[in-house]
Structure 1
Amino acid sequence: MSIYTIIDADTHVTETPDLWTSRAPAHMRDSVPRVITDSRGTHRWVLAGGRNLASAGMTATAGRGTFKNPPKTYEEMHPGAYDAKARLKYMDQMGIWAMVMYPNVGGFGAQQFLKLNDPELMLTCVQIYNDWQTEWASADSRRLIPITSIPFWDVAAAVTEVRRCAAIGHKGILFTGEPQYYGLPLLGDKHWSPLWEAAVELDLPISFHIGSGDMAEGLVKERVATYGKMAAFTELAVDIFLRNGLQLNDLLMSGVLARFPKIKFVSVESGIGWIPFVLEAMDYQFKGNSVAEEHPEFDRLPSEYFARNVYACYWFEQTAPRRLIDKIGVDNILFETDFPHPTSLYGDEVHARIKGGLSDCEESVRRKILWGNAQKLYKVTGPSADDEAKL
């Protein structure tokens, strides 16, 4: 029996301090994201002119800190946050064969690059990130799964970048679930058809990671001042889980899944407990409002489109895995740890949460959720006998 039992569908890599400054053309070097050490000795990501993005340690609290007290420097972080060999060692310890990787600095949908206000610079930063992620994954490209960040503000450039990265081993596409928030067309607009066509042709799933859209109601000063920082963060965390429900709601009514029956979408880091209600409510409204009469291209119910085209990831939940798998669909659920973020599962908690949620399931169900669904979606090559023998 293999010691590897998990394919982790959502993790993050803490970007190295010189990621952009060491790769950008000379005329852009002063404008790309960089790490500084502030007056408190904290490593921070900033843009030109000192515009703050985030504390570097905020993305790497697993085993080394909390949201309230994150690591101040890279040296204080778990080395697996930013070092690929250390990540593989941690994965071996946890029985995790592969990890799907998402960004931090550029935003969970690459939206932070919009702050650069220069299309050439924005595109360059996206390309540099994707190349760096490819290099990082080369430590073992079977096990470290890159997802392509895209310049979604330019659909032609986005398609070009998707094709470029697919050719060098990327296994998915990162996209915002709320393009309208950035002044762009809705998901259902034909504007996005070239992106959907490329995704289908290349057989790449499209990820809606939480936090890729409207974050305006997040950790605003008024809420922090009224509720306190940690209460405001707790509210924000749940708010962005549920916002993916709104994005799913939009996707199911957009017509995209009817026009592109082979396309795949993934709701990342959003949890799964809310899905049965959304699907039941959508089916009820869909039938009650005779949507198919208005749109004859809709040849099935929203829940049936979900079953055919959409996946969702869970990590901490205990109720949904025990009681709602059949309402969501065993073929549509992926497991994640979100390592090394503040809300991530780390160390012993990974297997404790799995056991608590899936202990009553048949082994075939456990296997699909922890391994099979992700292996098929991301075309993961499993371990060899030599890999097993090394441990």
Structure 2
Amino acid sequence: METFPKIISVDDHTVEPAHVWRDRLPSKYADSGPRIVRAPLKEMTFMGGKFAPVMGAKGDDGPIGDWWVYEDLHRPLTRLDTAVGYDRDEIKLEVITYEQMRPGSFSVPERLADMDVNHVQSALCFPTFPRFCGQTFTEAKDRELGLLGVRAYNDWMVEEWCGPDAHGRLIPLTLVPLWDARLAADEVRRNAARGVRAVAFSEIPPHLGLPSIHTDDWDPFLQACDETGTVIAMHIGSSSKMPSTSADAPPAVGSTITFANCCFSMVDWLMSGKFERFPNLRIMYAEGQIGWIPYILERADVVWEENRAWGGVADKVHRPPSELFTEHVYGCFFDDAFGLKNLDSIGVGNVLYETDYPHSDSTWPKSREVGEAQMGHLDADVVDRIVRRNAIDLLGLTDDGLWAGPGTGA
């Protein structure tokens, strides 16, 4: 491919600097709000899709790492949070400090430099400590503090991470208080008023003890997204339950089938009737890949056509699910040659590109080379749509692919 378009990645990640909540929460929360503590690791496992770290006491033996401490939660920074730049065989489940991670994980200037190395123009970033849709705050005991924590993260995301130093190249993705749909709607509108067009949400809310998308409980939140043109972004693992097959299955099993939650979630949305009620809703699945989509659409259409009388959808889903998909759903990939070979069955307008920086699956610093190898059979205009134009249209970016929020200079 003679020229490969500058990439707009719709799924990268930020590792929050230690000061995010320390600087933004009232002083009375200094000992209960999120804060960094350097401590040894006592033990840590990741089996059956469950991550279980245990922090040691001061003076204990064990590798030293930086831990987020929040109420009763102790969550370490790990090599899996920021793995780029390391040989694959060196990427292990181990605790690290900020000094041991690549600076682009948490520093805007270094992030932009790493984006330049990787042929990336702009990037939308999911959180780390709050987890992919803010589950950390949803699971906390103090709801007042949780709401303040969500708002503090969003203020940091908009004003600092995506602020003037980013020059419009970092695209904001905000959180909502998932435990209250009306508060969530308020937060969507608060951020939309300052140019935010994407909000994180759970792929399968019932796994978090929350109502399913089939209820009316989420309607205030969905209405706010519909009215403001805010895209609902769902990352694999945003239900705090990664796919696995057994309690003793190694992480490689879950890593192979990570798309499964996206698959289940998409069927939920297509059969929920929400797209009929909120016609401006758009949803995207980060890191879910796209190769599985054609069969699911085929099967969903068959079920809708043949079984809707007893399937519970006749009164709310009035068009084939594949049509609803075309208008409302976006699949995101970073390495999916099979999906690209079946692009006609997915839809050129429903696919977005990502680099997953700085995670272990990331194609950094070779995202361009991976894209060229897998998209070489496609016309240049199709490649341009996948790599940047679809993201520009979906996220309301400038024609140059930049976020034009307050103070960006874009």
Fold equivalence (TM over 0.5): yes
Separation in 2, partners of 1:53, 1:219:
25
Q: Structure 1 residues 194-203 or 369-378, which shifts more?
A: 194-203
Unaligned runs of 5+ in 2: 41-62, 402-410
Amino acid at match of 1:335: Y
Q: State whether structure 2 residue 207 is matched by structure 1 residue 181.
A: yes
Q: 34-43 vs 81-90, which deviates more?
A: 34-43
5+ residue gaps, structure 1, are 385-391
> How far apart, CA to CA, are the structure 2 residues paired with 1:69 and 1:186?
33
Q: In the TM superposition, what is the alpha-carbon distance from 1:216 to its structure 2 partner?
A: 6.8
Asked if structure 2 preserves the Cα contact closer than 8 Å seen for 1:99 and 1:143, the reply is: yes
Instruction: State the shift of 1:56 in Å.
Output: 4.7
Can you list the C-alpha shifts for 1:166-192, whole angstroms capped at 9, x where unaligned? 122322111112222233222122221
Aligned position for 1:10? 11
Q: State percent identity of aligned pairs.
A: 31
Instruction: Give the counterpart of 1:48 among 71, 74, 88.
Output: 71
* Aligned residue in 1 for 2:123: 99
1:297 Cα deviation (Å)? 4.3
C-alpha separation in 2, matches of 1:243 and 1:68: 24
Cα 1:53–1:199 shift into 2, 3 Å: same
Paired residue secondary structure (1:316): coil
Q: Counterparts of 2:399 and 2:105 in 1: how far apart (Å)?
A: 23
Note if 1:367 corresponds to 2:368. no
SS of 1:108 mapped into structure 2: coil
Quick check: 66-75 or 263-272, which moved more? Answer: 66-75
Q: Which has the higher helix share?
A: 1
User: Aligned partner of 2:20: which letter?
Assistant: L
Shift of 1:31: 1.2
Corresponding residue of 1:388? none
8 Å contact 1:312–1:334 — kept in the other structure?
yes
1:151 aligns with 2:173: no
- 2:184 aligned counterpart, secondary structure: helix
1:254 Cα shift?
Answer: 0.6
TM-score (norm 1): 0.89
- Is contact 2:355-2:363 (8 Å) kept? yes
Aligned position for 1:88? 112
Is residue 199–residue 206 contact of structure 1 (8 Å, CA) maintained in 2?
yes
Partner of 1:61: 83
Name the structure 1 match of 2:365: 347
SS at match of 1:116: coil
**Using the alignment, how far apart are the partners of 2:256 and 2:359 within structure 1?**
15
Deviates more, 1:55-64 or 1:173-182: 55-64
| Maintained 8 Å contact 1:37/1:43 | yes
Q: Displacement of 1:3 after TM fit?
A: 8.1
Deviates more, 1:174-183 or 1:128-137: 174-183
* Residue pair 1:21, 1:29 contacting (<8 A) in 2 also: yes
Alpha-carbon distance in 1 for matches of 2:192, 2:353: 24
Distance 1:3 1:360, change over 3 A: closer
For residues 93 and 76 of structure 1, the distance between their equivalents in structure 2, rounded to whole angstroms, comes to 20
Contact 2:203 / 2:261 at 8 angstroms: preserved in 1?
A: no
* 8 Å Cα contact 2:232-2:284 kept in structure 1: yes
- Quick one: distance in 1 between partners of 2:243 and 2:286? 20
Structure 1 counterpart of 2:325: 306
Deviation of the 1:57 alpha carbon: 4.0
Deviation at 1:238, TM superposition (A): 3.1
Alignment-derived partner of residue 131 in structure 1: 155
Q: Note if contact 2:8-2:353 (Cα within 8 Å) is conserved in structure 1.
A: yes
| Distance (whole Å) between structure 2 residues aligned to residue 92 and residue 84 of structure 1 | 12
CA 297–345 in structure 1, closer or farther in 2 if over 3 Å, else same? same
Tell me the distance in 2 between the aligned counterparts of 1:217 and 1:112: 19
Q: Tell me by how many angstroms 1:240 deviates.
A: 3.1
TM-score scaled by structure 2?
A: 0.85
Distance 1:56 1:22, change over 3 A: farther
State the 1:288 CA deviation.
1.3
- Tell me how far apart the structure 1 counterparts of residues 33 and 82 of structure 2 sit (CA, whole Å): 22
Aligned ranges 1:280-291 → 2 under 5 Å: 280-291=298-309
Counterpart in 2 of 1:324? 342
**Equivalence for 1:276:** 294
CA contact (8 A) 1:64 1:77 kept: no
The letter for the 2-side match of 1:271 is Q
Letter in 2 for 1:103: P
In 2: Cα distance, 1:114 partner to 1:290 partner: 35
Deviation of 1:54 after TM superposition, in Å, equals: 3.2
Asked whether the equivalents of residues 60 and 70 of structure 1 are also in contact (C-alpha less than 8 Å), the reply is: no
| Residues 203 and 141 of structure 1, relative CA distance in 2, 3 Å threshold | farther
